[in-house]
């Protein structure tokens, strides 16, 4: 262990992990040492002979686990971003062990007794607002983790948590395998007709990398409608690609998901909740199952009505081509065809103006300067976790350092699908640490010498994920538990969705939307067509999203079933069909954005009973965008207010209090309905 780089805080700037020194064999001993060290630190807290106080109990607890934190942030990123067999095996082994470690702390009766005593006497402690918030959050976390349960229930809780952690690891590895095996292998470039030359070249490179030299491979991205479906002219290829996306991991992950849903329901029942969703939402801004259900049900009828109108025009366009059996594999293709016909707008026409480097530097970073005064310097002397990773130092308007931003943009076979943000170093005044955050995306890597040209959706994703990064970078709190994105799940997407607005802000778009070859700006008439088409397809997109959100909600509002308590009696495909029919979203041409077997938000990540958060947060987002546009302040002044009162506060104040501090009132639904064309 003497040469293990995790043993001491990193000597690099901002405590950036020393990736150049870290090897896979360092993880096991560091994880084991980290867990042992934290348990010893907790034992010192509970062994303190003095009365429990805020400092010797709550703050002391905040100080525990530093070694474990250092290794876990790197290990979790490695397991997601650069998967290899040794790391997969460790992940499967340590997920249950880490769950047991968490239980050992949160179910420690002596530790909870001290926290409970401090909490009971909080009125007489004269704590500042952030310290009081920390105390309340720790107390709530321990209660929700089972600290007050009887011994027998705690023992069952440990078993459930261990089984769920193991199942999550299994689900993740099954999906990784299914994505790899489901990649579409094509024999000739002719089968890719309709794709730009650069994407055909990238498919050839992908084939080479995956051991299919001379062939063309389209990898599966971690959602249903694959981007290539909008342009592939060969219907048979489109059908094969969509079928591969829809059917992946169903046989392996369907039973795993059903089992996990049953285990979660049983766990919720231990706490006295009728369902896992009720347990989850009790600690979110939504507050109740009824509130979430009412919102989702309110959105379904107008979304379906819009989708049906949009589908009619797509079917008509397909019929003009002689297609009488319009199916889901035709949806994206004819959406693109109709959009081009109605708005004279072709997504392929836009891509040359959205080159990755320019979008990043002259778009995302430029907007951060415009709104918040930030500047960025690439640090070639600092290395990330993969050769594709780039490291940027972030500076305040006055030139003082703020933190580090890492970006890993390109897809590869070893990276899980999707896009996400995380923190390698969490901001904390208690530890004197500045933030180190990263974004992971899955943009198709271009062939050597070719530019990375983005779709308009990928441009928005880049801005979205950087919104999460800003939330972490701007954190200005004392305690790590309250820092940055440590907010309710149905609030955490709000700042990132707000940041999407800058992708279409005229001053920002004019700065980045330039032809990669000529440097010419996006033509004014093309901008006008792009804006005119902004609501095109919103009905279909909303239906896709709501179908996924209501599948999540259906899985997790189920009570414990004494007949099918193993979970394996529930057939995932049949369950999906029944749910979508019941809620009125069984449009055969419009599959959900995610099906159960590849819905990793729910069964690997922490969004179980929480996928509704995206549209719940979008209510706040749409309202805030209108505030930015109409509050009468300069953009820089509005940005400072948004940063100071919301982004910087993390979870040091209740989430909706932070929203009200910015906008000055309760959130309103009307801006979201208008944005999505859903009426009043």
Three-state SS string across 368-400, please? HHHHHCCEEEECCCCCCCCCCCEEEEEECCCCC
pTM for the full predicted model: 0.93
Determine the 3-state secondary structure of 96 from DSSP: helix
Whether residue 637 lies inside any domain: the answer is no
Whether residue 218 lies inside any domain: the answer is yes
Determine the 3-state secondary structure of 118 from DSSP: helix
Q: Find out whether 447 and 205 touch, Cβ atoms under 8 Å.
A: yes
Q: Find out whether 611 and 296 touch, Cβ atoms under 8 Å.
A: no
Supply the pLDDT for residue 2. 72
Residues 474 and 594 placed together within one structural domain of the fold: no
Residues 416 and 511 placed together within one structural domain of the fold: yes
**Residue of 504, 508, 512, 510 lying closest to 534 (CA atoms):** 504
The per-residue pLDDT of the chain, averaged, comes to 95
Residues 397 and 476 placed together within one structural domain of the fold: yes
Percent of the chain residues past pLDDT 90, beyond the cut = 90
The yes-or-no verdict on residue 568 having pLDDT over 70 is no
Residues 279 and 369 placed together within one structural domain of the fold: no
Q: Find out whether 498 and 624 touch, Cβ atoms under 8 Å.
A: yes
The CA angle 354-355-361, to the nearest 5 degrees, is 100
Of 585, 611, 637, the position where a domain reaches its end is 611
Domain count, the chain: 4
- Cα separation, 375 vs 400, in Å, equals 10
Question: Tokens for 570?
Answer: 């529930």
Predicted confidence (pLDDT) per residue in 315-331, tens digit: 999 999 999 999 999 99
What are the beta bridge partners of residue 422? 438
Give me the domain span that covers residue 333: 250-345+536-611
Q: To which residue do tokens 């999407």 refer?
A: 500
Residues 254 and 235 placed together within one structural domain of the fold: no
Which residues are part of the catalytic machinery? Answer: 465
| Three-state SS letters, 463-476 | HHHHHHHHHHHCCC
**Residue of 530, 388, 393, 385 lying closest to 452 (CA atoms):** 388
Residues 411 and 514 placed together within one structural domain of the fold: yes
Supply the pLDDT for residue 567. 46
Question: Tokens for 279?
Answer: 């347990």
The yes-or-no verdict on residue 660 having pLDDT over 80 is yes
DSSP classification of residue 65: -
Whether residue 164 lies inside any domain: the answer is no
Residues 376 and 505 placed together within one structural domain of the fold: yes
Whether residue 316 lies inside any domain: the answer is yes
Supply the pLDDT for residue 84. 83
Residues 47 and 125 placed together within one structural domain of the fold: yes
Q: To which residue do tokens 């992940």 refer?
A: 91
Predicted confidence (pLDDT) per residue in 364-420, tens digit: 999 999 999 999 999 999 999 999 999 999 999 999 999 999 999 999 888 887 899
- Cα separation, 343 vs 326, in Å, equals 22
Q: DSSP characters for 224-249?
A: SS-GGGGT---HHHHHHHHHHHHHTT
Residues 58 and 119 placed together within one structural domain of the fold: yes
């Amino acid at each position: 262990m003497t040469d293990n780089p995790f043993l001491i805080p990193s000597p690099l700037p901002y405590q950036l992990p020393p990736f150049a020194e870290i090897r896979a064999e360092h993880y096991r001993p560091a994880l084991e040492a980290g867990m042992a060290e934290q348990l010893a630190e907790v034992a010192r807290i509970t062994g303190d002979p003095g009365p429990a106080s805020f400092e010797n109990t709550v703050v002391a607890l905040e100080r525990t686990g530093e070694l474990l934190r250092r290794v876990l942030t790197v290990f979790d990123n490695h397991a997601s971003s650069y998967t290899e067999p040794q790391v997969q095996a460790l992940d499967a082994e340590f997920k249950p062990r880490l769950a047991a470690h968490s239980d050992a702390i949160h179910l420690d009766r002596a530790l909870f007794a001290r926290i409970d005593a401090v909490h009971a006497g909080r009125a007489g402690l004269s704590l500042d607002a952030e310290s009081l918030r920390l105390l309340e959050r720790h107390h709530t976390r321990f209660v929700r983790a089972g600290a007050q349960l009887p011994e027998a229930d705690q023992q069952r809780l440990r078993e459930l948590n261990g089984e769920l952690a193991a199942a999550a690891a299994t689900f993740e590895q099954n999906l990784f395998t299914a994505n790899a095996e489901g990649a579409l292998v094509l024999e000739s470039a002719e089968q890719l007709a309709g794709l730009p030359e650069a994407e055909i070249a990238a498919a050839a490179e992908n084939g080479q990398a995956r051991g299919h030299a001379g062939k063309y491979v389209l990898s599966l991205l971690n959602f249903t409608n694959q981007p290539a479906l909008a342009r592939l002219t060969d219907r048979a290829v489109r059908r094969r690609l969509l079928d591969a996306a829809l059917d992946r991991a169903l046989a392996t992950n369907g039973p795993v998901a059903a089992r996990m849903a049953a285990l979660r329901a049983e766990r919720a029942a231990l706490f006295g909740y009728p369902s896992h969703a009720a347990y989850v939402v009790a600690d979110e801004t939504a507050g109740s199952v009824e509130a979430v259900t009412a919102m989702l049900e309110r959105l379904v009828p107008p979304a379906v009505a819009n989708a049906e109108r949009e589908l009619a025009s797509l079917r008509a366009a397909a019929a003009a081509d002689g297609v009488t059996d319009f199916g889901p594999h035709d949806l994206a293709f004819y959406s693109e065809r109709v959009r081009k016909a109605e708005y004279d707008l072709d997504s392929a026409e836009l891509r040359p103006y959205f080159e990755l480097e320019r979008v990043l530097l002259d778009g995302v970073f430029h907007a951060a300067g415009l709104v918040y005064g930030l500047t960025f310097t690439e640090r070639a002397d600092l290395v990330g976790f993969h050769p594709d990773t780039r490291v940027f130092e972030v500076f305040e308007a006055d030139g003082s350092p703020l933190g580090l931003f890492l970006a890993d943009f390109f897809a590869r076979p070893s990276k899980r699908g999707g896009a996400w943000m995380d923190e390698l170093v969490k901001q904390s005044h208690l530890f004197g640490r500045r933030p180190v955050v990263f974004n992971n995306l899955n943009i198709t890597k271009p062939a050597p010498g070719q530019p990375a040209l983005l779709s308009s959706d990928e441009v928005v994703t880049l801005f979205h994920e950087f919104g999460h990064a800003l939330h972490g970078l701007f954190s200005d709190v004392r305690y790590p538990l309250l820092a940055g994105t440590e907010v309710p799940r149905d609030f955490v997407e709000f700042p990132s969705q707000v940041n999407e607005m800058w992708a279409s802000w005229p001053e920002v778009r004019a700065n980045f939307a330039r032809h990669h070859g000529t440097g010419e700006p996006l033509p004014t008439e093309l901008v006008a067509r792009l804006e005119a088409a902004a609501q095109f397809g919103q009905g279909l997109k909303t239906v896709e999203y709501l179908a996924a959100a209501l599948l999540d909600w259906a899985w997790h509002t189920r009570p414990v079933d004494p007949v099918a308590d193993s979970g394996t009696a529930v057939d995932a495909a049949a369950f999906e069909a029944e749910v979508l029919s019941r809620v009125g979203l069984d449009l055969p041409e419009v599959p959900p954005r995610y099906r159960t077997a590849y819905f990793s938000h729910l069964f690997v990540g922490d969004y179980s009973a929480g996928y509704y958060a995206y549209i719940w947060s979008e209510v706040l987002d749409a309202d805030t965008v209108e505030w930015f546009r109409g509050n009468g302040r300069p953009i820089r002044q509005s940005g400072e207010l948004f940063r100071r009162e919301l982004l910087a506060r993390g979870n040091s104040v209740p989430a909706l209090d932070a929203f009200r501090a910015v906008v000055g009132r309760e959130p309103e639904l009307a801006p979201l309905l208008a944005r999505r064309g859903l009426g009043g």
